[in-house]
Structure 1
Amino acid sequence: MPAAASAEASSVDSLFQLMLTISFGLTLLVQGVLVIAFFKFRRRPGDNSDGPPIHGNLSLEILWTAIPAVTVLAVGIYSFEIYNQMGGLDPMVSGQHSMEAHAKMRGSAIAAPLPGENGATSPGERSQIALGIGARPDELGQNADVVVDVSGLQYAWLFNYADSGVIAGELHVPVGQDVQLNINAQDVIHAFWLPELRLKQDAIPGMTTELRFKTTKVGTYAVVCAELCGGYHGAMRTQMIVQTPEDYQAWVQENAVAQNPNLAETLAVKPSEMSNSEFLAPYAEEMGVNEELLAQIQTEVHPQ
């Protein structure tokens, strides 16, 4: 199992371990009964008589129907409770968002929900569409500490920190703080997967989905597209960097300055006081070098 790096990961792991334990126990039970039957009811040497005419056993049929039914019901209730604890039943997420699904887009979205004739889903349809993972029950009505707009496109992820104006090709979040991702796709369906957080959310063209979480460990973790989205699907990877709040604020401030459109004027005044990234930022912008171009070059040089 990957390292558990979020408050939600332990709950998902406990559900997985429960299902694995039940499956292992049922496998031993069924295979054990079969082995016993093989030996106990095998044909004895010299015995050419017919076997007993057994046409059914009501008690056994009730038993082997009741056990799976109770097991599935128990696992279903437990998984429903975990989903609720993670924020899956947040009413602000499940059906109250205003959304539009546009029929005409670049590329094709396999299994994408089809809009109505006017290009948008009806109110009745909206109430039946789960739009992601929202706030946990103990945090309902509270705003997230960090909000990031995530765009998926063939074959990269772009992260827009609207409050600071920072746009990056990797996700930076502060540890221990509530993070909300507003996810959309620019072309086809993608899936935003964080293995160490045990979270995955579809990125759907024409629709914004939400993923809300709180990390517990500082480190660098993989961000993977888990939906087949084209020929270079395997290369659609980036990373999430979980930092201390101080390091996160320093990163935001550094990149906000580097991406400031008025940086050229500042550079002309005090170039000696600029960091390397701040000094090179205006020249990179002038040459048309951006995150998408760098990701494309990396894909061509280091194909998956």
Structure 2
Amino acid sequence: MNIPSTIWTLLVGIVLTAASFWLGQNHGLLPTAASDEAFLVDGLFNTMMTVSVGIFLIVEGVLIFSAIKYRRRKGDDTDAEPIHGNVPLEILWTAIPAIIVLGISVYSFDVYNEIGGFGSHAVHESPIAPQATSMPGAAIAATLDDASDVRNIDQLPDTENAPGTGIVSPSLGATPENQGTQPDLVVKVTGLQYAFLFNYPESGVMTGELHVPIGKEVYLDMTANDVIHAFWVPEFRLKQDLIPGRQTELRFTPQVAGDYKLICAELCGPYHGAMNATVVVQTPEDFDNWIKEQQVASKETFNQAVAVNPAEQSADEFLAHYTSEMGISSEMLHQIHN
């Protein structure tokens, strides 16, 4: 029984469509989707995979079919039938890719806008109010300048380079329902060669590890202290640059508990590959407990530093024991201060 070519075309089309949809949704190429924004990006990626798999199967299928069916037969030395082109077919295979590219472009724009890509272009004030922070070990370092006052060093190293200059790029991660609202958690992020520093202004905690609670919108106010860095967590599907002298921002809502790797995605120097940190997504209860632990640890470190170096000791006197072991004389230390 001869099956009409139209039926074969229909059957092949159904099989290719089913295979494209299945592979496009079950490719397993992406890491865990750990934020609300990740699901939007994954939808776009899966759509592109579906279209790409369909085009690949059609093109490769036609090539293989043509190579087999129209191969030169043994003993056949005749010339092939001359073909002068097919204008309607050329228009068709030009129009279809153009429509696909246009559709993906519109979809991409919509996703970018959904995660706040065009939510804020103008320079504006950060919601973070200037506030002193606490960092373990900072009090001891203060004795180099003033042994009797450790408060002056309790600030991020970028405050002189980026004095509230606002943002130079759109806010990423603020979904439409969250745009214009106050975030649940504010964290100030500073990038420097080769580490990230995280400052929690509301609690006065500074750390090298980012902790965020599940289901709470997190606002990151970011800047760099030296060169351009980038904040990129693959599981969040969001990336934002940290720029010296400027402030950029990123908003996201984590949804899956776990430890995730924060990667600097901008070449920032010879040790760029080692610049990473850990992002810990935890329950709100565990996050509150972690904040309290950091506050207690910072306070204990501060008290120990004050106890070790009473106010009546000068910086030279306090450091004399340590510098003598390092072979540094008091005259050399005095020259450093001057």
TM-score in same-fold range (> 0.5): yes
Aligned residue for 2:293, secondary structure, equals helix
Deviation at 1:267, TM superposition (A): 9.5
- Could you tell me which residue of structure 1 aligns to residue 103 of structure 2? 74
Q: 1:95 aligns with which of 105, 122, 138?
A: 122
Deviation at 1:52, TM superposition (A): 2.6
Deviation at 1:94, TM superposition (A): 2.1
Aligned residue for 1:64, secondary structure, equals helix
Amino acid at match of 1:97: H
Aligned residue for 1:253, secondary structure, equals helix
Deviation at 1:198, TM superposition (A): 1.3
Deviation at 1:266, TM superposition (A): 12
Amino acid at match of 1:21: T
Deviation at 1:230, TM superposition (A): 1.6
- Could you tell me which residue of structure 1 aligns to residue 70 of structure 2? 41
Q: Give distance in 1, aligned partners of 2:293 and 2:67.
A: 72
Q: Give distance in 1, aligned partners of 2:175 and 2:299.
A: 36
Say yes or no: does 1:52 pair with 2:81. Answer: yes
- Could you tell me which residue of structure 1 aligns to residue 7 of structure 2? none
- Could you tell me which residue of structure 2 aligns to residue 239 of structure 1? 278
- Could you tell me which residue of structure 2 aligns to residue 27 of structure 1? 56
Taking only aligned residues, the RMSD between alpha carbons, in angstroms, comes to 2.7
Q: Give distance in 2, aligned partners of 1:43 and 1:221.
A: 57
Say yes or no: does 1:230 pair with 2:259. Answer: no
Q: Give distance in 2, aligned partners of 1:266 and 1:224.
A: 33
In structure 2, the CA distance between the partners of 1:155 and 1:267, relative to structure 1 (3 Å rule), is closer
- Could you tell me which residue of structure 2 aligns to residue 3 of structure 1? 32
Unaligned 5+ segments in structure 1 are 100-119, 121-125, 269-286, 288-304
- Could you tell me which residue of structure 1 aligns to residue 229 of structure 2? 190
Amino acid at match of 1:33: V
Q: Give distance in 1, aligned partners of 2:87 and 2:124.
A: 51
Please report the TM-score for the alignment, with normalisation by the length of structure 1.
Answer: 0.72
Aligned residue for 1:25, secondary structure, equals helix
Aligned residue for 1:249, secondary structure, equals helix
Residue correspondences, number: 241
Could you tell me the percent identity over the aligned residues?
53
Q: Give distance in 1, aligned partners of 2:36 and 2:204.
A: 28
Q: Is the 8 A contact 1:89 1:134 kept in 2?
A: no
Render the CA deviation track for 1:148-188: whole Å, top value 9, x for unaligned: 11111111000011122211000011111110001111112
Render the CA deviation track for 1:170-214: whole Å, top value 9, x for unaligned: 001111111000111111221111111111111122221111001
Q: Give distance in 1, aligned partners of 2:287 and 2:121.
A: 31
Amino acid at match of 1:27: F
Q: Give distance in 2, aligned partners of 1:43 and 1:62.
A: 29
Q: Give distance in 1, aligned partners of 2:68 and 2:291.
A: 70
Q: Give distance in 2, aligned partners of 1:60 and 1:253.
A: 69
Aligned residue for 1:247, secondary structure, equals helix
- Could you tell me which residue of structure 1 aligns to residue 208 of structure 2? 169
Q: 1:147 aligns with which of 181, 186, 190?
A: 186
Q: Is the 8 A contact 2:116 2:170 kept in 1?
A: no
Q: Is the 8 A contact 2:190 2:197 kept in 1?
A: yes
Deviation at 1:265, TM superposition (A): 8.2
Unaligned 5+ segments in structure 2 are 1-29, 127-161, 308-321, 323-338
- Could you tell me which residue of structure 2 aligns to residue 216 of structure 1? 255
Deviation at 1:98, TM superposition (A): 7.0
Q: Is the 8 A contact 1:7 1:215 kept in 2?
A: yes
